[in-house]
Amino acid sequence: MSVSFPASDMPVSPLPAPPLPGTEDRWALFLDVDGTLLEFAERPDDVRVEPTLYALLAELYARLDGALALVSGRSLGGLDALFGSPPWAMAGLHGLQLRHADGEMRETKVSASRRTLVLHTAEVLARAHPGVLLENKDMAVALHCRSVPEHYDTLHTEIKRLLPELHGYELQAGSQVLELKPVGMDKGKAVAELLERAPFAGRLPVYLGDDLTDEHGFAATNLENGISVRVGAREPTLAQYSLPGTSSAQAWLFRVLNVLKQGAVPHAYPFGGNA
């Protein structure tokens, strides 16, 4: 899915706050994690999920008849560790890994030799830029520059120069992170895949995300006449609505839940997991 943006030198009008569901609306929630539900940390492993957030997601999951999914750059294993193996659908590594609502798994296959080559390349780059944190996601590798943002642009240039040697891989740039990942998958494609199956099929997609990686999710949502919500102030964006930050995103989700509570009694979905 190609993603095109408004010209960056054009003035951008402030985006409105997202609407709340109507009484007849059947929403499907797709939620990015870092920078959307949770504040960033210098190290991804330092992030924690508060019990109140887990309880919010669990109740939304029940009220939406299971039509809630996390769509993240973290691996499924990382998401399970963070959220306590929750029952809802999850797309990990920007959709390279996908666990459907019924538990069925789909994962992109990458040879061990290719993964080793990419990891070695990333290790050399990290050593050349002290302070850059390397995160090995098995089939993908991320280089985090949050503690040394001055290295970001140089590292970006060096990775672009090396990409022709890393056949089958592409650069996914994000908020102070540069990731080498297999080509052919993104968050938008993951959303489209989830929308083909129950309990998401036939529902209005509502996507919340903060980063450049979420633009594909916004594009897929817009194609379905859904609701795309940027969290933060990053420009340019394809999102139609905006929330200032993670706390406002959680507050809006609480408001969504309160509206949903005014409708029918939710189905009995087992929550599982823990926060």
Which residues are catalytic, by number? 32
As a three-state string, the secondary structure of 109-150 is: CCCHHHHHHHHHHHHHHHHHCCCCEEEECCCCEEEECCCCHH
Distance of CA 119 to the CA centre of its chain: 22
Sign of CA dihedral 207, 213, 215, 219: negative
Q: Residue 191: which residues within 8 A CB-CB, separation 6 or more?
A: 30, 71, 91, 205, 207, 217, 220, 221
Say whether 179 sits in a helix, a strand or coil: strand
Question: In 10 A of CB 204, how many CB atoms?
Answer: 18
Q: How far apart are the C-alpha atoms of 178 and 120, rounded to whole Å?
A: 15
Residue ranges of alpha helices (H) inside the chain are 51-63, 76-83, 112-128, 152-162, 187-194, 215-223, 246-261
Say whether 247 sits in a helix, a strand or coil: helix
Look at strands 204-209 and 177-182 and give their pairing: unpaired
Q: How far apart are the C-alpha atoms of 42 and 273, rounded to whole Å?
A: 26
